[in-house]
Amino acid sequence: MSIQDYIPHGMVAAFAGVVTYVFRDHVKQDDARFAEMKSGFADIIARQTTLSDKIAENHAEILKTLLEAEQLKNEPRA
């Protein structure tokens, strides 16, 4: 056996090393992107919750006003 018999094995090992490095690099980039997306979604959820609370308050105020108007309409007049 000569050194030339090991060249294909060395090439395969080098290729595997490059693939491993590229894969790990892409995984790190994906993790960073997903962390950014998660943070963005957390902000969106917080704003939606605030908006939903404000809408509920507004609806309660509208219903209260309508109820008061109906009660005034139904009061006996002297």
CA dist 24 and 30 (Å) reads 10
List alpha helices for the chain, DSSP H. Answer: 7-73
pLDDT at 78: 63
* pLDDT digit string (tens) for the chain, length 78 residues: 787 888 889 999 999 999 999 999 999 999 999 999 999 999 999 999 999 999 999 999 999 999 999 998 888 776
Domain segments of the chain: what residues? 3-73
55 closest CA partner among 67, 66, 44, 63: 63
Residue 30, both tokens: 């994906």
pTM exceeds cut of 0.85: no
Residue type (1 letter), 7? I
